[in-house]
Structure 1
Amino acid sequence: MTVPGVYPAMTEFARLTWGLTDADLEIAWEWQDYQEGVRFSFFRNYETLRELVVRLAAERLSLGQASTSAQRILAQYHAAFRDLQAVLLGYDAARLEQVPAEGEWSARQALDHMIRAERNFYFMVHFALQDARSGDGRLTEATEAMWDEFWQGDPYSGLRDAGSPQDMLAYHEKLHTRILDEFVDISEAELDAPAVFWENQPYPIRFRLHRFDSHLRQHTIQIEKTLLAIGGPLNEARRLLRLIFAALAEAEGVVLGTRVGEDACRLLASEMTERTTQVAQALASLKPDVS
């Protein structure tokens, strides 16, 4: 997955704007003939990302590099991951560790559950894929020793106990990238290979990959409810940024397993960075504390 420079450019814009009030969105900002205020800068970022999706998909098709089923499934999982990032934008450790009510999870606890589940899913699919590629028809029975060897040197157990929510989020992003990189070349036949977990029967790798997405969505909803319960803001800027994160995720998903449109991505990243600078200047004229 490579859309050079676009994610850093987008996160720079998000850091600047996630906390804007609805009134702030009315501050003067222009793009060509459009004089609709700072709000329109969000839509320009959204629109240019949507254009990029179409261009990347067309280029990939023209090169005869259609996405595989596995790549499409992983793109769905990636969209769920970017959505979680959008939901958590701007929240500090205190908010993420706040319990909404007795017996309920904080956002940090939900995030920990999501990460631990994905580690389990990853471990399981890794060995199921090895079994499928060995060709001998045998299924590996996972052991604690295998788990320890697989995760040797991995820092997550320490982060669970002593790391900040931001440390956990950074770990999650690295884990997510590792999963995409390892599974991006799964073939159509391999998707139907069995993968053994806790259930009474094996389920195909195809099902297991879809679980990465659906489980993440399930607990992103839980985190949303938690943040709302503790008084987290749901302003228009956050809603708009969520659209932008979704558009970025689709662009990144389109290029999974290939390297198309890199020049177009760099050009868009530069455009987004310039737009962020313009918006920062517009905000500074009326809100000197924004930077």
Structure 2
Amino acid sequence: MRKLKIQWANQHDFHALLKRSEVEDKPVLLDLHSPDCSGCVNHDRRIYSDPDIVRDVMEHTFPVRVGTTAPDRASTDIINNHIYIWSPTIQLLAPDQTRYHEWNGAPRRTRLSVGYQTVFHDTPGHLTPDVFKAQFLVARGKAALRSKKYGKAIGLFDEALARHPGDRVTVEEAARWRKVARSSGVIESTWDRHHQVTTSPLAAAVERFAQTVAVLPDSVLMQDWIGKPGAGDWQWYSDCLREVVLQAYQELCDFAVTAERERAQHGPQFNDTHRLLGQHRFAYREFQSLFVGVPDALLDRTPLRSERSIRENLAHMVMAEWWAYRPQILHALDRGRKGLAPQVVPAADTVAQHGEPPGSHESLHELLALYERLHLRNTRDFSDITDNELGIRSAWWELGPVELRFRLERYIWHPRDHAVSIDKILDASGHRHTSNHRFAARLFSGLGTAEAALIGADGFLADQVESLTSTINERAGEATQLLSQITDTKPSIG
């Protein structure tokens, strides 16, 4: 009896199959393959030879294999569109080329466009036939969910949970999307005034105030303020919500002026590393402010053809800071301090140390909270780099080693870049920030300014920080009281 095999289409069939996918409501399974990739070879030997997998792939998808070794123009276009810096090589695609699912544990490869050709990362992955089958059920469920076939999606998620209870990622993802399917596609928002992502008392106070301001209607911006007047000359400028937010923002900025002056006079002194990390903190808080008022339902929207979702951008940000910038910077610093030549950290080492990056099913709150923890850890671990050490050379994507100063400058630039992408997605999704959302976002900018003045000076001006935290918490409480009054006076329906 002849053994069944997957009948792979190639790169030249890809776009025709996407059209068929739209007509026949059958997704495309994209496999980015190289005979030089041990994981890819293992897939042919262990996964794509499994009769059940062969049957399911041929029945439920249009399978396309694109070679990544010496690719032609057609292959390169597909690779650059589907390897997002460093991505899993197995993906289930919608007709518009957006991803229903990327296989966790599949080999990861870097893309081939200019800037990424010189250092090619390739990790073997750790997929087994059982894990592939588990994720295949989840992937098909996500495709059905996006098509609003909720009953079919629930059935596929239930099957994944029943057949593969030992695979943690499958269980978490299937349970998450099953809940959404059971509510007919309704996704609960998870980052709001009830779900905090920041950790320090000052940041938590600002977040609480900002999130409360964000849910207030714009109609109260100029309404008489219910709280007490501001201290000192601010008493003349605290008569409405707009002025109170301005006051809090300015107090954060004024604290930064005080901290910088005190550090200059009494230490600990600023160095260039602290200033660079301060710029990154400001960029990070402004990036974070983009999500004020953004519902989780927008995380996986793909309003721009062939472009990534907000989830994919946000997960990439987390991955870039922890799985990419961090190991390269710390590795270069360690080698430079030992007088050793620059060396690239292999991607496989990063995965072995930190595991697979997140992104497939986490809520907005979970992704932002993870980003917060990792970002603060990086800042702490980078802050002891001296000015002289900023000249240490670091090897990575470039044609030659660059200084750590430049690496940190790119680190600053990265959240700015993806903030533009996310803002564009929000706009294309029809999401509009209210005036109060925008004022709330300014509070995060003020927070970034205040925190930047404390980089490399843990515990500095603790009493002033505590006083500022108390003031902002008091304003947050007043805003909460205003919100309660508005909610209580709303006419009942029915």
Structure 1 match to 2:284: 81
Structure 2 match to 1:270: 470
Instruction: Check conservation: 1:96, 1:108, Cα contact below 8 A.
Output: yes
One-letter amino acid matched to 1:127: H
**Which structure has the higher relative contact order (CA within 8 Å, separation 6+)?**
1
Q: 1:7 to 1:257 in 2, by over 3 A?
A: same
Query: How far apart are the structure 2 equivalents of 1:140 and 1:243?
Result: 41
Structure 1 match to 2:485: 285
Structure 2 match to 1:13: 209
Query: How far apart are the structure 2 equivalents of 1:112 and 1:194?
Result: 28
For structure 1, which runs of at least 5 residues remain unmatched after alignment? none
Match of 1:249 among 423, 433, 448: 448
Instruction: Check conservation: 1:192, 1:204, Cα contact below 8 A.
Output: yes
Query: How far apart are the structure 1 equivalents of 2:288 and 2:426?
Result: 13
Q: Decide which moves more: 18-27 or 228-237.
A: 18-27
Instruction: Check conservation: 2:292, 2:441, Cα contact below 8 A.
Output: no
Query: How far apart are the structure 1 equivalents of 2:312 and 2:450?
Result: 30
Larger % of strand: which?
2
Query: How far apart are the structure 2 equivalents of 1:268 and 1:203?
Result: 40
Structure 2 match to 1:125: 329
Q: Decide which moves more: 117-126 or 217-226.
A: 117-126
Identity of aligned residues (%): 28
Spell out the pairing of 1:101-250 with structure 2 (5 A cutoff): 101-118=304-321, 119-135=323-339, 137-151=340-354, 154=355, 157=357, 159-250=358-449
Q: 1:246 Cα shift?
A: 1.3
Q: Which has the larger radius of gyration?
A: 2
Instruction: Check conservation: 2:285, 2:445, Cα contact below 8 A.
Output: yes
Instruction: Check conservation: 1:87, 1:224, Cα contact below 8 A.
Output: yes
Q: Decide which moves more: 204-213 or 14-23.
A: 14-23
Instruction: Check conservation: 2:390, 2:404, Cα contact below 8 A.
Output: yes
- Counterpart secondary structure, 1:26: coil
Deviations, residues 112-163 of structure 1 (Å, cap 9, x unaligned): 222222221111111000101112x323343345324432xx5x53x32332
Structure 1 match to 2:76: none
Structure 2 match to 1:55: 258
Query: How far apart are the structure 2 equivalents of 1:66 and 1:6?
Result: 22
Larger % of helix: which?
1
Deviations, residues 32-56 of structure 1 (Å, cap 9, x unaligned): 3446322222112112112211111
- How high is the TM-score relative to the length of structure 1? 0.90
- How high is the TM-score relative to the length of structure 2? 0.54
Query: How far apart are the structure 1 equivalents of 2:431 and 2:293?
Result: 10
Instruction: Check conservation: 1:100, 1:229, Cα contact below 8 A.
Output: yes
Deviations, residues 146-197 of structure 1 (Å, cap 9, x unaligned): 324432xx5x53x323322322221111111111011101011211111111
One-letter amino acid matched to 1:279: A
Q: 1:4 Cα shift?
A: 5.8
Spell out the pairing of 1:21-36 with structure 2 (5 A cutoff): 21-29=217-225, 31=229, 32-34=235-237, 36=239
Instruction: Check conservation: 1:27, 1:283, Cα contact below 8 A.
Output: no
The count of residues paired between Structure 1 and Structure 2 equals 283
Spell out the pairing of 1:35-46 with structure 2 (5 A cutoff): 36-46=239-249
Q: Decide which moves more: 137-146 or 217-226.
A: 137-146
Structure 1 match to 2:11: none
Q: Decide which moves more: 119-128 or 238-247.
A: 238-247
Instruction: Check conservation: 1:27, 1:282, Cα contact below 8 A.
Output: no
**Aligned residues: CA RMSD:** 2.1
Q: 1:277 Cα shift?
A: 1.6
One-letter amino acid matched to 2:371: H
